[in-house]
């Protein structure tokens, strides 16, 4: 099972996933500290005491338990096609360390890695001044003064901005994002936002040490915590910040965590955005059990719940289930490709029954779709690929009212080189109607599905309105 990363990824071009230059460079740095790189064969334990284990194919529960049981505590698991829900079971047994988004036909997959214990700072030399810690609060905020004392005690660079008194919740959310963007734009280093009512018990070094674009902590539900956020000085981080700011001002009444989540799914589907998934020590509720174990201590009210209102939470919760596994969730597209100047509008390719296809086969199928679209888009301005495991996932896609074309495909079916060019008509033409029965496992071969006409008046429209 042993080998180098280049050997494992490239030993069989027909089965090896296509990774982008940024993804490959990051993985080479990641495995640099491991004496052994292993491509798991799906049936054997990993004997190495400390290894980077590449997993290309999903396995059943028994074999996953055997794999996890054989891993050294310092080993890591690398999933080059982490967008596939077939790997959710394996991810659920591990702590997520990081992931890298998809970008066009050259990098159509999401790379994921994690371990049997939370991510830790790797041995190295790090400069305290390389990260600027920031917050914003009213001048008389006692909690913010305690936070400033914590950061000064640790010898870290810090800037606190004013927050006008009397702002309603929506205005506060806008002010917070605007302040983060302004500080990021002015700084010559990464910025680390910490909520003014939080406390810092130890140096939050992991984001800086990892070299990621963005670092965030997640709730058990998958919802992102906005109390501790890191944005590096990279183009990918800039794109994420700008999208979050745009969504916040466009939908000021929606919660910050939901809008950050939406910004992340949009940018990670178009850029090789590297995300560090912060361990729980970076956002622990302030109680006796956390003392001595936390890096950042959240105020009890902030740490116990997310800021999702009940009515939005009912909708957002199913979408954010995918974030528990650091991936997109239908109806979200894990990959978005654009063609400037094309006039037919966007097209969504729904790949169904993904759990019944082997992981290697599915990755090749996604690559084939992107290659065909890159060669001949058929006049469509944008391609979105949505991986659907269940019929309910397909229903979610069809409920988005944006009037784009939807192409339903099965991984067992061939892809014609002119599949997009051969689709009939153009924008505004009457499209064929398709009943829900056609979404079953015994459905007919690849065909054009009706536009998403079933519109539900709920916050799902935010995704449809902002992704194009």
CA-to-CA dists, residue 295 to 156, 194, 202, 281, 284, angstroms: 14, 12, 5, 5, 8
Of the CA atoms within 13 Å of residue 165, those in its CB half-sphere come to: 4
Joined together, the tokens standing for residue 97 give: 């360390």
Joined together, the tokens standing for residue 168 give: 């309603």
**What pLDDT, on the 0 to 100 scale, is given for residue 464?**
40
**What pLDDT, on the 0 to 100 scale, is given for residue 448?**
41
DSSP 402-435: S--EEEEE-TTS---TTTTTTS---TTPPPPP--
Per-residue pLDDT of the chain (468 residues; tens, 9 = 90+): 565 666 666 555 556 899 999 999 999 999 988 988 999 999 999 987 778 999 999 999 999 999 999 999 999 999 999 999 999 999 999 999 999 999 999 999 999 999 999 999 988 889 999 999 999 998 888 999 999 999 999 999 999 998 877 788 899 999 999 999 999 999 999 999 999 999 999 999 999 999 999 999 999 888 899 999 999 999 999 999 999 999 999 999 999 999 999 999 999 999 999 999 999 999 998 765 655 679 999 986 554 444 555 555 555 666 677 888 899 998 999 999 999 877 888 999 999 999 999 999 999 999 999 999 999 999 999 999 999 999 999 988 888 766 678 999 999 999 999 999 998 864 444 343 333 232 222 222 233 443 333 222 223 333 443 454
User: Of the candidates 430, 426, 335, which has an alpha carbon nearest to the alpha carbon of residue 378?
Assistant: 426
| Number of CB atoms found within 10 A of residue 343's CB | 10
User: Of the candidates 264, 327, 276, 278, which has an alpha carbon nearest to the alpha carbon of residue 110?
Assistant: 327
User: How much is the pTM?
Assistant: 0.88
Query: Would you list the domain boundaries of the chain?
Result: 2-115, 128-325, 335-466
User: β-pairing, 190-194 with 224-231?
Assistant: antiparallel
Distance (Å, whole) CA 357 – CA 267: 27
Angle at 342 between CA 336 and CA 348, to 5 degrees: 35
Distance (Å, whole) CA 376 – CA 381: 11
**What pLDDT, on the 0 to 100 scale, is given for residue 373?**
97
According to CATH, the topology of domain 128-325 is: Spore Coat Polysaccharide Biosynthesis Protein SpsA; Chain A (3.90.550)
**What pLDDT, on the 0 to 100 scale, is given for residue 50?**
72
**What pLDDT, on the 0 to 100 scale, is given for residue 15?**
62
Contact in structure between 348 and 355 (CB atoms under 8 Å): no
Distance (Å, whole) CA 128 – CA 153: 12
Give the distance from CA 176 to its chain's centroid.
22
**What pLDDT, on the 0 to 100 scale, is given for residue 224?**
93
């Amino acid at each position: 099972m042993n080998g180098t990363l280049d050997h494992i990824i490239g030993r069989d071009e027909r089965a090896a996933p296509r990774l982008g230059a940024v993804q490959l460079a990051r993985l080479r740095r990641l495995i640099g500290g491991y004496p052994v790189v292993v491509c798991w064969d799906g049936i054997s334990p990993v004997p190495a005491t400390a290894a980077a284990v590449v997993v290309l194919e999903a396995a059943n529960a028994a074999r996953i338990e055997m794999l996890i049981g054989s891993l050294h505590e310092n080993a890591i698991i690398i999933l080059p096609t982490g967008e596939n829900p077939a790997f959710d079971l394996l991810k659920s047994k591990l702590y997520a360390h990081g992931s890298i988004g998809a970008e066009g036909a050259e990098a159509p997959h999401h790379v994921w890695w994690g371990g049997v214990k939370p991510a830790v700072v790797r041995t190295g030399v790090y400069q305290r001044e390389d990260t600027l810690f920031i917050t914003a609060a009213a001048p008389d905020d006692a909690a913010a003064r305690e936070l400033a004392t914590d950061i000064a005690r640790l010898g870290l660079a810090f800037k606190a901005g004013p927050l006008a008194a009397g702002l309603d919740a929506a205005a506060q959310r806008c002010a917070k994002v605007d302040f983060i963007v302004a500080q990021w734009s002015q700084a010559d280093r990464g910025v680390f936002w910490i909520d003014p009512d939080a406390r810092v018990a130890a140096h939050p070094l992991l984001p800086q040490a990892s070299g990621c674009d963005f670092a965030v902590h997640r709730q058990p539900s998958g919802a992102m915590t906005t109390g501790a956020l890191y944005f590096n000085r990279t183009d990918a981080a800039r794109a994420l910040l700008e999208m979050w700011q745009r969504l916040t001002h466009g939908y000021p009444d929606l919660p910050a965590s939901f809008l950050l989540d939406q910004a992340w799914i949009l940018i990670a589907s178009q850029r090789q955005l590297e995300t560090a998934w912060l361990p729980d020590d970076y956002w622990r509720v302030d109680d006796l059990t956390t003392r001595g174990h936390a890096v950042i201590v959240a105020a009890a009210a902030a740490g116990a719940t997310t800021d999702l209102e009940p009515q939005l939470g009912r909708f957002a919760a199913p979408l954010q289930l995918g974030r528990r596994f650091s991936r997109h969730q239908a109806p979200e597209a894990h990959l978005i490709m654009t063609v400037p100047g094309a006039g037919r509008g966007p097209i969504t390719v729904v790949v169904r029954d993904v759990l019944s296809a082997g992981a290697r086969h599915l990755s090749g199928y996604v690559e084939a779709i992107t290659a065909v679209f890159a060669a001949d888009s058929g006049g469509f301005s944008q391609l979105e690929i949505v991986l659907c495991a269940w019929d309910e996932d397909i229903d979610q896609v069809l409920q988005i009212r944006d009037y784009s074309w939807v192409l339903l495909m099965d991984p067992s079916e061939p892809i014609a080189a002119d599949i997009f060019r051969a689709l009939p008509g153009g924008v505004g033409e009457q499209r064929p109607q398709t009943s829900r029965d056609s979404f079953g496992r015994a459905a007919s071969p690849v065909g054009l599905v009706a536009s998403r006409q079933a519109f539900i008046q709920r916050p799902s429209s935010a995704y449809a309105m902002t992704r194009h």
